[in-house]
Chain A
Amino acid sequence: MTETPLLDVRNLTIDLPRGADRPHAVQDLTFTLEPGEILCVVGESGSGKSMTAHAVLGLLPKAVKVSSGEIRHQGTNVFSLPERDQRALRGGRIAMIFQEPMTALNPLMRVGDQIDEVLRYHTTLDRAARRARVVELLGSVGLPEPDHLRRSYPFRLSGGQRQRVMIAMALAVEPDILIADEPTTALDVTTQKQILELIQDIQAKRRMGVMFITHDFGVVAEIAHRVAVMQRGQIVEIGTAEEVLNHPKHPYTRQLIAAVPHLIEHREDFTRARQPVLTAEKVCKTFHIGGGFLTPGRKVVAGDDLSLTIHQGETVGLVGESGSGKSTLGRSIVGLIKPDSGRILFEGVDLLSLSRPAFRPYRRHVQMVFQDPYASLNPRHTVGDIITQGPVAFGEDRHKALEKAKALLKLVGLDASAAERFPHEFSGGQRQRISIARALALEPKLLIADEPVSALDVSVQAQVLDLLEDLRHRLNLSMLFITHDLRIAAQICDTIAVMQKGRIVEIGPAKEVFGNPQHAYTRTLLDAIPGKGWTIPEDVVPVTRRSAALRSSA
């Protein structure tokens, strides 16, 4: 590497305002980005990875200041340039794509005009030439009918299409550096795969340097040439993808890799000897969206002839992309949604035929753990209140319920004193433990877990999954586990049901579904899992396997 690097960050330190949890957002950061290279910056939320990207682009919030260090672009220190040149550099040579393609595009402007705007500022092309260029750009990111699509508003496009428009916009000025801040986190796995392929393709064609920020080691394994691991504002490990992924040295890197959900798990086969706890038969649900007094709304089929059986002690995974109707089925079972037709049998009783008061006693047998731990706990109640409200509603003595709540808090790995505190005093992972304790307080037979870990960092994710797995064995629970992440499903489910557009397209034992998928859609999903070619190195023991070993030895 004799040529000057595209981007050379030396000893960069960014100060946080007083009163933050640490003095520096990033500290003494040094790394380079070569032309034609994809550098993945990995870390958990709050590690300073986005802050680094924003510093390169000069997008830091006002309260945050670069206190020392330099950022060199092809040998020139960016900070020594006058404001004007910095702007030209940032707009023209470095481009960025963001995580949320909906908020990054102006909803009131046609996408073609938004790209045209970039061209107008940074090039001298005339109207007609710009128009041709917009069409060319939209075509180059794989969008269909670019000439027609150019006149669409962002809301007409899907998430993946919007992200493609963002990439087209970033490419408009032919940058030599592309900074991508978690560009696929908000997308479905099959869309993610396409976008990753697109970025790789463009990067190779144009010999751009790509700084790719992500928290997902699967994505890293898929695209990275080099990897930098960040923890609390510092790079703890940097090296080639091969080195970092297969021979991680720093304990934090090892810890992160150990927490990566892993597809090939060796779980024993589940034997369906006992009674089914819950059977869903031909459940159908259609939502009518929009529409007014006279205009008919749009119909969305969220459930079409769904049938499913959960046996005692079994974990059934419901997987599929967003909008496939997974949550609709989960919510129908707990009685939050009323299906249009079908039967949901709980220990032989059809829950859907029951009146409200007759249904109520069954509520305690079927409990739910929600997706967002920040929205699922009432911010104005203490944790003790939150956990005891259920039992108290079922006539239990408040004092006794509180004693039980404290025992439950210990069971989920929190201190009993947590009962007196408020939800905001806990981290996301801890909140999810509280949410689990609340569900368990009613001693349910069946637990519906609706994406319980998708809002959590990967290491916390592993701990919560581990807790669920442990509790299920200890309390002999049955569980319906709803997730979009097949790796997680593979890790903890006995049976897998794959959903697509409101239908269950494939259902069977986890081993068979993953080992020998029958349906084309299942194969597409499995194929789209990022990092499937990468196996976690042998010397890093995955968290769940470790605790499984502990359990069997105990």
Chain B
Amino acid sequence: MTAAAITPSRKGAGFWGAFARNKGAVIGLAFLTLIVLMAAFADVLYPDSPWDMTAMPFQPPLSDDALLGSDTLGRDIAAGIAHGARVSLLIGLTSTAVAVLIGVFLGAVSGFYGGRVDDLVMRFTELFQTIPNFVLAVVLVAIFTPSLTSIVLAIAIVSWPPLARLARGEFMSLRSREFVHAAVTTGQSNMTIIWRQILPNSLSPIIVSASLMVATAILLESSLSFLGLGDPNLMSWGYMVGAARTVIRQAWWMSFFPGIAILLTVLALNLVGEGLNDALNPKLARKGRS
């Protein structure tokens, strides 16, 4: 009966069915859609730059000219959140994409070839794993001066090792499967085997952990901005929290709303990641639902 659940003929229905069975995942996906829409229509909702002073400073939420209040210089918090969503999502997605590229490439090579290559790649990976993530990211951004590119690269560089290990494990176990042996004996090249035979079969866990990695990347970006290492030209949630921390007792809303935005986005991404896990790895899904 488990076999029926993973048959690709009903893959469409099966995938959404399994995903939708996880209520949290559906809520997460709905919320994520909302954030994406907010980011997409930020220019329509708040045509002015979020850096513009549009209201009196220290306006509390629900005042006439600022829905969520204004900050110490009279900038609209709501506009900051809408525009900040762009930065968070952009950095979250691109840095994850770069990390997936590096991680899967190294993991695939390591797991497929094994032996010396594997030793070499894995020692290299461990080198990165022994350095605390955040410290390395701070150092990298500080050296390369804060900009969108340097932040994306710094986050990618600190987050690829777990993906490399995951991809390596998948490749190692699939490497010894009979269909891969069959591909070898029918004369297919190593590249074809990696690309067409093994990779499609190892994607599910990679997709799941990548979706969770987007959340971590957003947190990392917020932390960097909080420390003042964000791109100075871009309004971001982390910067807003950081800038407002000195006045948190007089004006709670300045750090509260961006903080909530970070919390909800990360939570939504985690819920979606868990839903993907249930849908893509039905064998590991929690018992008692089939």
Interface set of A (CB-CB < 8 Å, partner B) = 17, 19-20, 63, 331, 334-336, 360, 363-364, 366-368, 370-372, 375-381, 389-390, 393-394, 422, 424-425, 435, 438, 441-442
Contacts and interface: CB of A to CB of B under 8 A. Distances in A.
Contacts of B201: 378-380
Nearest to B179: A378
Contacts of B187: 360, 363-364, 390, 393-394, 442
A480 B28 CA distance: 56
Interface of B: 1, 3-4, 7-9, 177-179, 181-189, 192, 196-197, 200-201
Contact of B182 (A63, A376, A379): A376
A23 to B, nearest CB: 14
A420 B201 CA distance: 19
Given A360-B187, A390-B187, A442-B187, A376 B1 contact: no
A334 B178 CA distance: 13
A366 B182 CA distance: 12
A442 B186 contact: yes
Contact of B188 (A336, A379, A389): A389
A441 B183 CA distance: 13
Nearest to B180: A378
Contact of B9 (A367, A425, A441): A425
Contact of A371 (B9, B178, B185): B178
Q: Looking at chain A's contact residues, is the secondary structure mostly helix, strand, loop, or mixed? A: loop
Give me the 6 closest cross-chain CB pairs, A-B, nearest first: A390-B186, A376-B178, A363-B187, A375-B178, A370-B178, A378-B179
Contact of B179 (A336, A364, A376): A376
B181 A370 contact: yes
Nearest to B290: A63
A336 B178 CA distance: 11
Contacts of A424: 3, 7-9
Contacts of B197: 378
Given A19-B4, A331-B181, A376-B178, 5 more contacts: A364-B186, A366-B185, A371-B178, A422-B8, A424-B3
Contacts of B8: 379-380, 422, 424
A378 B192 CA distance: 13
A334 B1 CA distance: 37
A331 B9 CA distance: 34
A336 B181 CA distance: 7
A393 B188 contact: yes
B184 A336 contact: yes
A336 B8 CA distance: 30
B288 to A, nearest CB: 9
A377 B8 CA distance: 14
Nearest to B8: A422
Nearest to A17: B1
